[in-house]
Amino acid sequence: MAKALFGHVGGSDPRMVSEMRRLQKRVRDLEDEISRLQARNDQLSMAVTDATPGATEREPALA
């Protein structure tokens, strides 16, 4: 299957290898950014919950 992905004859194209490495680095960078943003979001969520006592207790809706 790898041969089908990289081309059966002549090996891999250096431009394609370079582009694949660039894209893999971009994916890693984006995954790191997602992790950082999720951690920050968790911090902010906890701060809001701590700042508003009883925030988890909701009043019943009017019928």
Inside any domain, residue 10: yes
Q: Would you state the pLDDT for residue 9?
A: 60
- Domain extent for 31: 2-51
Q: Would you state the pLDDT for residue 40?
A: 96
Q: Would you state the pLDDT for residue 36?
A: 97
Inside any domain, residue 7: yes
pLDDT in tens, 3-59: 665 556 666 788 999 999 999 999 999 999 999 999 999 999 998 887 776 655 666
Q: Would you state the pLDDT for residue 57?
A: 61
Inside any domain, residue 56: no
For 24, 35, 41, 48, 55, the CA distances from 31, given in Å and listed in that order, are: 11, 6, 15, 26, 31
Inside any domain, residue 32: yes
Inside any domain, residue 24: yes
